């Protein structure tokens, strides 16, 4: 069975703080893809990153970075020097090789960045 766990329901930080959002996944497939999406109050899902199971390289994009560790089945997301505009719900998601595109979402982490 596939599953995505985001243990942090809500996180509140002050602007300029760094914050890490945790994501732990479960799958028996050797081929899978992991995603992070941002959902601001408007509701639209904003794609942030996709990672395949064969690429464990960490990625940095501006203030965003992702740490993929297969050994712990984790795909954590760090925002450096957070800003108020980062306030949103963040979802981690998984597609497994045999799922025909069924995106399994975690429950999401609501991030509030206060000025």
Residues lying near other proteins in the complex (CB under 8 A): 33, 37, 42-45, 47, 50, 52, 91, 95, 99-103, 105-108
47 vs 61 by CB, closer to other proteins: 47
Shortest CB 18 distance to other proteins, Å: 25
91 vs 113 by CB, closer to other proteins: 91
Distances (CA, A) of 44 to 39, 40, 41, 90, 115: 6, 7, 8, 12, 24
- What are the residues whose beta carbons fall under 8 Å from the beta carbon of 9, sequence distance 6 or more? 107, 109, 110
79 vs 92 by CB, closer to other proteins: 92
């Amino acid at each position: 069975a596939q599953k995505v766990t985001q243990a942090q329901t809500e996180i509140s930080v002050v602007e300029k703080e760094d914050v890490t959002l945790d994501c732990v996944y479960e799958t028996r497939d050797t081929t899978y893809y992991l995603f992070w999406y941002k959902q601001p109050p408007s509701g639209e899902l904003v794609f942030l990153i996709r990672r395949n199971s064969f690429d464990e390289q960490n990625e940095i994009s501006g203030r965003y970075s992702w740490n993929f560790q297969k050994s712990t089945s984790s795909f954590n997301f760090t925002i450096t020097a957070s800003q108020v505009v980062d306030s949103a719900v963040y979802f981690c998601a998984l597609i497994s090789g045999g799922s025909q595109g069924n995106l399994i979402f975690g429950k999401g982490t609501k991030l509030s960045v206060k000025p």
